[in-house]
């Protein structure tokens, strides 16, 4: 009971933030609809009900895109094991989970840095360099050069090394000369993207023949990650399992190991950490190495397993969304996983919403931004929950 209560108080703000953000998003849909606005003066009630209907349609598409269509699921249930129907029924939820995998990895990665008090904005760059490492490993060791399990292992190792090496640069600069990690990591994000561009447009080893487009060869010809679902048409591979194992490992590292203890102490109070004999420089570099390694692992697995190709824009918006995931999840591994899943649902659901209702997927960015804003102002969010109609107290006490 006590544990449940504790859990409840932990997820209260995030859960409320997501609900309120969805609500505000609905208002936004209603009041940006040209027809609704046009009819608002002549026939306000009609216009509003039209708007509400549109929002409902949009969210229903969002829901079906995220979790699956109840109707299709019903058919699949009734079909007595029709693989094709089942694949159709489960595809949305599976794709939502797949979309959350990069967010889990990079969210965990930046969380380790945040816990140490380092604002590592370089998740995208570290993820990208991990993808580079994974791609090179796949091209070099895949396609029968080494047995498949070894090739997969090498993909992971190269990813870890790529991400960690990329994160080492800002970590070292911060520890040695105090360079702001915010600036260096952002810059390294751009450099990572351009580096990929250089690789995939200049090397026959990597570039896809006939070497016109700046993308790599199809990686599935070299290494394929084993799927974990009995339905081959659903692309869910072992990377989700590795992501969850990584979350467990990060949690264990942060809360059970002496190194994790040092990093957390340094992150919460650097002066007290120094007082306790914890070296600030070592903490910074350690945290960045681990942070980059996790993001890099994610990059390698997603590039090889999910996207099956390396391209300059491989990180997409993962870097920044993952920062949101880390913050919403309270930089706690369990929270990061849960938030990444929610964001994955929103992301995949949003694409169906765009197809079916024409409401652009950017709407989801708006909702995500709102979630972050609400999380950042817990007092405001809890105030909404308590009693929206309560009169403000007469005192001006802070």
Partner 1 sequence: MRLELQKITKQFPGVLANDRISISVDKGQVLGLLGENGAGKTTLMNILSGLYRPDSGKILIDGKERIFRDPAQAIDAGIGMVHQHFMLVPVFDVTESVVLGNEPTKGPLGSFDRATARAQVVELSKKHGLHVDPDAKIESLPVGVRQRVEILKALYRKSDILVLDEPSAVLTPQETEELFEIIRGLAKGGTSVIFITHKLNEVIAVADKITVLRRGAVAGETTPKKATAAKLAEMMVGREVQLTVSRSKSKVAEPILQVKGLNVLNDAGGLAVNSATFEVRSGEILAVAGVQGNGQTELVEALTGLRLVDSGTVVLEKKPLHAGSPREIAMAGVAHIPEDRNRDGMVKGMTIAENYILNTYHLPQYSKNGLLNRKAIAAATEQAVKDFDVRTPSINTDIASLSGGNQQKVIVAREFSRNVRLVIAAQPTRGLDVGSIEYIHRRIVEQRDAGAAVLIVSTELDEVLALGDRVAVMYEGRIVGILDAKEATRERVGLLMGGITK
Q: Considering the rule CB under 8 A, would residue 273 count as an interface residue with partner 1?
A: yes
277-296 mask for partner 1 (x: CB under 8 A)? Answer: x-------------------
Residue 260 CB, nearest distance to partner 1 (Å)? Answer: 8
State the Cα–Cα distance between residues 174 and 289, nearest whole angstrom.
13
Q: Considering the rule CB under 8 A, would residue 332 count as an interface residue with partner 1?
A: no
Q: Cα 363 from chain centroid?
A: 17
Q: Cα 173 from chain centroid?
A: 27
Q: Considering the rule CB under 8 A, would residue 397 count as an interface residue with partner 1?
A: yes
Residue 396 CB, nearest distance to partner 1 (Å)? Answer: 6
Which neighbouring-strand residues pair with 207?
216
Residue 105 CB, nearest distance to partner 1 (Å)? Answer: 24
Residue 272 CB, nearest distance to partner 1 (Å)? Answer: 5
Q: Considering the rule CB under 8 A, would residue 359 count as an interface residue with partner 1?
A: no
State the Cα–Cα distance between residues 187 and 179, nearest whole angstrom.
12
> Which residues are CB-neighbours of 231 under 8 A, at least 6 positions away?
83, 86, 87, 90
92-131 mask for partner 1 (x: CB under 8 A)? Answer: ----------------------------------------
Q: Considering the rule CB under 8 A, would residue 3 count as an interface residue with partner 1?
A: no
- Count of residues of this chain found to bind partner 1 when the rule CB under 8 A is applied: 20
DSSP element (H, E) containing 300:
helix 280-301
227-266 mask for partner 1 (x: CB under 8 A)? Answer: -----------------------------xxxx-x--xx-
* 318 and 101 Cβ atoms separated by less than 8 Å: no
**Scanning residues 62 to 91, which ones bind partner 1 (CB under 8 A)?**
none
Which neighbouring-strand residues pair with 216?
207
> Which residues are CB-neighbours of 293 under 8 A, at least 6 positions away?
109, 160, 161, 163, 164, 167
Give the binding range for partner 1 (CB under 8 A) out of 91-99, 154-162, 175-183, 274-282.
274-282
Q: Considering the rule CB under 8 A, would residue 395 count as an interface residue with partner 1?
A: yes
List 230, 271, 358, 391, residue binding partner 1 (CB under 8 A): 271
Write the CA distances from 296 to 23, 98, 354, integer angstroms: 36, 17, 31
Write the CA distances from 175 to 179, 185, 281, integer angstroms: 8, 14, 5
Closer to partner 1 by CB, 1 or 34: give it. 1
Angle at the Cα of 88 (from 87 to 89), degrees rounded to 5?
90
Give the binding range for partner 1 (CB under 8 A) out of 170-178, 192-200, 369-377, 390-398.
390-398
State the Cα–Cα distance between residues 200 and 267, nearest whole angstrom.
38
The burial class, CB within 10 Å (0-12 / 13-18 / 19+), for 208 is middle
Q: Considering the rule CB under 8 A, would residue 272 count as an interface residue with partner 1?
A: yes
Closer to partner 1 by CB, 221 or 257: give it. 257
Site residues (vs partner 1, CB under 8 A): 256-259, 261, 264-265, 268-269, 271-277, 394-397
């Amino acid at each position: 009971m006590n544990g449940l209560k504790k859990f409840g108080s932990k997820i209260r703000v995030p859960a409320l933030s997501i609900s309120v953000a969805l609500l505000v998003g609905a208002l936004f849909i209603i009041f940006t609809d040209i027809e609704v606005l046009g009819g608002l003066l002549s026939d306000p009630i009609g216009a509003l009900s039209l708007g509400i209907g549109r929002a409902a349609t949009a969210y229903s598409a969002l829901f079906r895109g995220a979790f699956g269509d109840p109707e299709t699921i019903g058919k699949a249930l009734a079909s007595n094991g029709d693989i094709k129907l089942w694949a159709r029924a489960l595809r949305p939820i599976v794709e939502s989970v797949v979309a959350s995998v990069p967010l889990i990895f990079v969210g965990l990665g930046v969380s380790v840095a945040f816990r140490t008090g380092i604002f590592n904005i370089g998740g995208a760059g570290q993820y990208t360099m991990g993808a580079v490492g994974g791609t090179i490993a796949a091209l070099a060791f895949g396609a029968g050069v080494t047995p498949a399990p070894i090739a997969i292992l090498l993909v992971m190792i190269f990813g870890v090394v790529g991400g960690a090496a990329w994160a080492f640069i800002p970590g070292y600069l911060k520890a040695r000369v105090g360079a702001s990690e915010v600036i260096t990591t952002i810059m390294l994000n751009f450099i990572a993207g351009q580096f990929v561009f250089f690789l995939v447009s200049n090397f026959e080893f990597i570039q896809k023949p006939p070497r016109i487009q700046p993308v790599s060869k199809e990686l599935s010809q070299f290494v394929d990650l084993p799927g974990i679902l009995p339905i081959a048409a659903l692309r869910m591979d072992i990377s989700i399992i590795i992501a969850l194992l990584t979350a467990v490992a990060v949690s264990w590292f942060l809360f059970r190991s002496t190194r994790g203890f040092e990093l957390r102490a340094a992150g919460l109070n650097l002066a007290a950490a120094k007082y306790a004999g914890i070296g600030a420089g070592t903490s910074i570099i350690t945290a960045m190495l681990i942070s980059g390694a996790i993001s890099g692992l994610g990059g390698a697995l997603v590039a090889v397993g999910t996207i099956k190709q390396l391209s300059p824009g491989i990180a997409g918006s993962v870097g920044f969304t993952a920062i949101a995931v880390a913050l919403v999840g309270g930089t706690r591994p369990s929270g990061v996983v849960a938030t990444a899943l929610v964001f994955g649902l929103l992301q995949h659901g949003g694409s169906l919403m765009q197809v079916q209702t024409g409401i652009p997927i950017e709407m989801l960015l708006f909702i995500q931004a709102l979630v972050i804003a609400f999380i950042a102002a817990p007092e405001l969010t809890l105030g909404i929950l308590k009693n929206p109609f309560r009169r403000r107290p007469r005192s001006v006490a802070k």
